[in-house]
Amino acid sequence: MKKALALVLFLSFLISGLNAQEKNKAELEKMRGLVYSEDPQINSLAEKIFSQCIFSKLLDPLPPALPHKWFSPGGGYIGQWVWDTQFVLAAYAPMGEDTVIRGVYDNYWHTIRTNPEAPKGTYRYGMVPNFLKEWPPLGYSQIPILAWGMMQVYRQTGDLKLLQESLPYLVAFDQWYSTERDVDHDGLIEYGAYKPIGKAGMLQTARFETFDYFPTMDSMKMTHHPTRAEGGEWYGNVEGVEQTCFLLMSERAIVEMAEILGDKKLARQYKKVIARRIDAMQKKMWSLDKKFFFSLDRDSDRPIDVRSIQGFLTMCCDAATKEQAKSLVSELKEPAKWWCAYPVPTVALNDAKFSAKGFWRGDMWPVTTYLVAYGLNRYGYHDEARQLTDKLVELSKFKGVNERYNGLTGQSLGVNGLGMSCSVWSMIVENYYGITGDFTTICLPKNAKGRHLRLGQLEVSYPEDDQVLLISDFQRSLKVVFPNAKRDGQLMVFLEGKQLSKSALRKSPNAVEFKAEPDKHYLIKLSHEN
């Protein structure tokens, strides 16, 4: 009987594996018509990334926690994670599977609606757990970039229904974070947990809300809520730069969603929240002496003197001033601190806490390197972002697409084909082909002539070094930036060969904005003729 059962299980596993292979093959075939470039090597790497990090991770529903399809992170973990999934969805968006993407997000909203431990009206309402599988769900959350991730998708698909269905839940999640993870109400975000997971204990469970072994939390303690009598020691006493930045990224996305959907009141409300949060970061987290952002002890505002990658994430949410960004980039390029063979390490090389193989203690992760490059581009440091991309692509070609690496030697560490390591592809899209992280701005790369990228519903090519050809499958506003344009240059936009009038454009010395109609060819040229 046991032998028969074992045989049935083996055959079931074999059939499941064969079905997965056929599914992966079909997805790759579809991808070849939707996502491709002029470069066979780039195409080969893209197919490898999509196959390992995305297609193989899409799984069938797993009720009651996961009523819709979901993306597994990889590495043997079963469940839909919060922050990992956002990078996967941003890369997956060009595949045109709007229903699948809506379902993935509704898995989060299903938890908000039905979590028996967090009914509406309680202080736990609105929490989205770290990952979804257990029921009742876990009692701690994760890096809060759901709204930012959704805007990454929306700008590529134009799926208005996704925003309409999701905005109320995104606001609920943000309001939970803004209260339960900012217990002193100063705008800076902490970590916490309502119940431990496995043998981890409450302290380590709270650390799982972020980069779980980050040295900035080495001395963290769990406390009671400072003003609320009920509850346990659920609240960590460390305010994190990275967590505050991630919430700001989502709050900026909420403003954009509210404006798209015509909710001016909500947009105004969140603009005030953003301004207050950035003001707190400027006053408390920026060190005038050390020219860097540091996490804090919640109760004393004492800086935690660890130079970690989180300081650079302030450029992802526009929390750094231009002068601060200049200082950060200058430090980033120092070989003794950050600019090692394969940057960016998670802790500075000269910091006492640095360990080249240490988990979030000096190792290099593709996902955080992508975020640093994303921030660099937002502040106009395109060359540095391109250099980071070159180094990461080199590693991916020769060492495989991995969870993390030793930045000194390039040694692969952790899980091969981890879902969110698909951010390697996002770096290629942004820094080789100029489709920036907001997917509405095209920034002309250096030596662009001959490059061409089809990214789902957007096609970008560069007939010459000073020309951009665009085609969009749906109506959208686009901005084209020529970073090195001189003041005597003239930007011209041609629609199907006919020059657009000035009234149809918004111009600055090195950029032009216009509304692209579906399936029309737009040629943007930089001319120096009078």
CA distance 520 to 475: 10
The whole-angstrom separation of Cα 446 and Cα 469 is: 16
Q: Are 193 and 202 contacting, i.e. CB atoms less than 8 angstroms apart?
A: yes
The closest of 195, 229, 46, 53 to 124, measured between CA atoms, is 195
- DSSP secondary structure string for all residues of 80-144: EESHHHHHHHHHHGGG--HHHHHHHHHHHHHHHHH-TTS-TTSTTTT---SEE-SSSPPS-----
Q: Which residues contact 268 (CB under 8 A, 6 or more apart)?
A: none
The DSSP code sequence of 424-466 is: HHHHHHHHTS-B-TTSSEEEPPTT-TT-EEEETTEEEE-SSTT
> DSSP letters along 288-342, please?
TTTTEE--EETTT--B----BGGGGGGGTTT-S-HHHHHHHHHHHT-TTTT--SS
The predicted pLDDT at position 294 comes to 98
For domain 42-439, the CATH architecture is Alpha/alpha barrel (1.50)
Per-residue pLDDT of 62-91, as tens digits, reads 999 999 999 999 998 899 999 999 999 999
Q: Contact 471/520 with Cβ under 8 angstroms?
A: yes
Task: Give the closest residue to 337 by CA, choosing from 359, 380, 308.
Answer: 308
pLDDT value of position 485:
79
Residue 419 belongs to what H/E stretch?
none
What is the pLDDT averaged over residues 153-173?
A: 98
Q: Phi-psi category of 232—alpha, beta or left, where left has phi over 0 and alpha has psi -120 to 50?
A: beta
Asked whether this chain's domains 42-439 and 452-527 adopt the same fold, the reply is no
**CATH classification of 452-527 is 2.60.40, yes or no?**
yes
pLDDT at 19: 67
Q: What is the mean pLDDT of residues 29-51?
A: 97
Residue 7: band (very low, low, confident or very high) from pLDDT cuts 50, 70, 90: low
pLDDT category at 2 given cuts 50, 70, 90 is very low
CA distances from 300 to 218, 284, 303 (A): 17, 11, 9
Domain spans of the chain?
42-439, 452-527
Residue range 345-379, pLDDT digits in tens: 999 999 999 999 999 999 999 999 999 999 999 99
Looking at the predicted structure, is the pLDDT value of residue 13 above 60?
A: no
